[in-house]
Amino acid sequence: MTNTTTQRQQLAILAPIDSTAEQVFTEDACALITELTREFRPRLQQLLAARQQAQARFDAGALPDFLPETKNIRNSDWQVAAIPADLQDRRVEITGPVDRKMVINALNANVKVFMADFEDAQSPTWQGVVEGQLNLRDANLGTISYTDPNSGKHYALNDDPALLIARVRGLHLWEKHLEVDGEQVPGALMDFALYFIHNIAQRQKMGTGVYFYLPKLQSHQEAKWWDDVFRYTEQQFGVEVGTIRATVLIETLPAVFEMDEILYSLRDHIVALNCGRWDYIFSYIKTLKKHADRVLPDRQVVTMDKPFLNAYSRLLVKTCHKRGALAMGGMAALIPAKDPEQNKAILAKVTADKELEAKNGHDGTWVAHPGLASTAGAVLDHYLGDKPNQLHVLREQDAPVTAADLLQACDGERTETGMRTNIRVALQYMAAWISGKGCVPIYGLMEDAATAEISRASIWQWIQHGKSLSNGQLVTKALFASMLDEEAEVVKTEVGADVWANQNFERAKSLLLAITTADELVDFLTLPAYDLLP
Ligand SMILES: CC(=O)SCCNC(=O)CCNC(=O)[C@H](O)C(C)(C)COP(=O)(O)OP(=O)(O)OC[C@H]1O[C@@H](n2cnc3c(N)ncnc32)[C@H](O)[C@@H]1OP(=O)(O)O
Ligand SMILES: O=CC(=O)O
Ligand SMILES: [Mg+2]
């Protein structure tokens, strides 16, 4: 293993090169990352600046709306490219981080697709993102295996593994261990380039393409940027346009107003949009952070049956199906319980959530755990019948979903219990993330970067707007600080003093205090937290 900066084709790798990194950072891989960064980083920087400018308009009182300048795209007739055969039926997708054992378990689950996540479920440690690439390469080759050093249990793929789709990092995240021309490489381009280059040959041998999920887009210009990245890569490798296929998460409030335009910008590469409900709720808070009339209640009551979220789901289905794209549902953040009675209640909640999506016309949905796959599958089977999807559900008779529908305030209480739960969840999640785990079970729920953002941003918003809890207490910085001290003690008792001391809880507490009491909302908690990762 070398410990110094390594220069490969102008790509500086600011990390030790062990045998895993040797296999991942081949000459060709380094060349592709370098080329893509040189070609596309300047435009990405402009797109990120455009996000700030849009936010400044929303902060000054403007509300997001459908764009007048792209009315023609919304009103004219066009379709996205035909959906490849292996992406037609996506009724249940499991998601999870790219650890070796999880990858195998996910591919063996009773699902159609595994979304392998470099994003919400993954803390982007250098080791994690590099090993993750090797794990996915071996998964596509069908050679992946793993033996648990503690239990001795051996893991290998079964005969009919799920289809693999990789979710790359969001556009706001940079990879601090890679530099091109002295500046950091976008994390998204690193993930994209490595997954493409290590899998294109095998995927083509299998008669299929290379498939991606794209997270947290905020505009159709960002979709066009991705389309250009795909085209450029396809051209460089002499493969057909459409070899790369994408599913775009509609999980920001600005993006819901540009769904037609996003589909259009990516029309040769896109196959679906997905309702990323957790980031969407976070984005609703962030986008409307200065709008006192749209402050959200407790996270627990912001469910998909709330009118503003149901409007989002229905509009996504209608927009996708009109254009021949699939409309994927999202994640009910539940995980199975060990107690049978509790588990029964959880499965009933999952069923109800998936019923709502399937009734709206979604073609598939997400589960966080293999133990929920059959429950979600039963609902989708019922609605899809003998069809692979619900593309025929056009919702043409619906009243138009308006900007007012998408932006309407959400009713519900802000409670002391809700605030204290938010604090304990955010604290534990941030400690896990800084310790290299991007997805963890907390109080019976799956928590990841998107769900934790809601917890911490809600409190920030309540402080900023001087909201009172249902017990009459005014939410202030001082109240939050004292509750944080109290809830930290609760968590310390729950996890034990050793875990508290050894797993970054003090650092997480300081960071949570800083970002929740800051005058400006920190864009993503993962930005300051990334400084704390090795
Ligand atoms: C908002 C969004 O972006 S949602 C998308 C991002 N979120 C996710 O991807 C959630 C992924 N889920 C997970 O990471 C896990 O389910 C957790 C962390 C929530 C819970 O994990 P655990 O506490 O390990 O669950 P549990 O102990 O019940 O696991 C039982 C088995 O199922 C496996 N398992 C659990 N979840 C998954 C999964 N998503 N994929 C593959 N295998 C899984 C475990 O590896 C374990 O396997 P083993 O018996 O061979 O050891
Ligand atoms: O990525 C999914 C979400 O809900 O956020
Ligand atoms: Mg998300």
Distance (angstroms) between ligand 3 centre and the Cα of 274 equals: 10
- CA geometry: angle at 254 spanning 251 and 255, to 5°? 55
Q: Best mutation site among 278, 366, 455 for ligand 2, i.e. most ligand atoms within 8 A of its Cβ?
A: 278
Span from the CA of 332 to the centroid of ligand 2 (angstroms): 10
State the SS3 of 285-343.
HHHCCCCHHHCCCCHHHCCCCCHHHHHHHHHHHHHHHHCCCEEEEEECCECCCCCHHHH
Question: What 3-state DSSP class applies to 211?
Answer: strand
The radius of gyration of the chain's CA atoms, rounded to the nearest angstrom, is 22
- Asked casually if ipTM beats, i.e. exceeds, 0.95, the reply is yes
According to the model, what pLDDT value does residue 351 have? Answer: 98
Helix (H) or strand (E) holding 235: helix 220-236
Query: How many angstroms does the Cα of residue 309 sit away from the middle of ligand 1?
Result: 26
Tell whether ligand 2 has an atom less than 6 A from the beta carbon of residue 377: no
Cα 254 to Cα 256: distance, rounded to the nearest angstrom: 6
From the CB of 276, is ligand 2 less than 6 Å away?
Answer: yes
- Angstrom distance (rounded) from CA 91 to CA 110: 11
Nearest ligand 1 atom to the CA of 106 is 41
- What is the value of pTM for the model shown? 0.98
**Mutational pocket test of ligand 1: of 446, 455, 524, 525, the residue with most ligand atoms within 8 Å of the beta carbon:** 446
Cβ atoms within 10 Å of 148's Cβ, excluding its own: 11
pLDDT in tens, the chain (534 residues): 554 455 555 899 999 999 999 999 999 999 999 999 999 999 999 999 999 999 999 999 999 999 999 999 999 999 999 999 999 999 999 999 999 999 999 999 999 999 999 999 999 999 999 999 999 999 999 999 999 999 999 999 999 999 999 999 999 999 999 999 999 999 999 999 999 999 999 999 999 999 999 999 999 999 999 999 999 999 999 999 999 999 999 999 999 999 999 999 999 999 999 999 999 999 999 999 999 999 999 999 999 999 999 999 999 999 999 999 999 999 999 999 999 999 999 999 999 999 999 999 999 999 999 999 999 999 999 999 999 999 999 999 999 999 999 999 999 999 999 999 999 999 999 999 999 999 999 999 999 999 999 999 999 999 999 999 999 999 999 999 999 999 999 999 999 999 999 999 999 999 999 999 999 999 999 999 999 998
Contact 446 CB / ligand 1 (< 6 Å): yes
Residues assigned a catalytic role: 167, 448
The answer to whether the CB of 121 is under 6 A from ligand 1 is yes
DSSP codes, 469-497:
-TTS-B--HHHHHHHHHHHHHHHHHHH-H
Would you call 246 exposed, middle or buried from its count of C-beta atoms within 10 A (0-12, 13-18, 19+)?
buried
Q: Write out 4-67 in H/E/C secondary structure.
A: CCEEECCEEECCCECHHHHHHCCHHHHHHHHHHHHHHHHHHHHHHHHHHHHHHHHHCCCCCCCC
Q: Residue holding tokens 């900007």?
A: 403
Ligand 1 centroid to residue 32 C-alpha, Å: 32
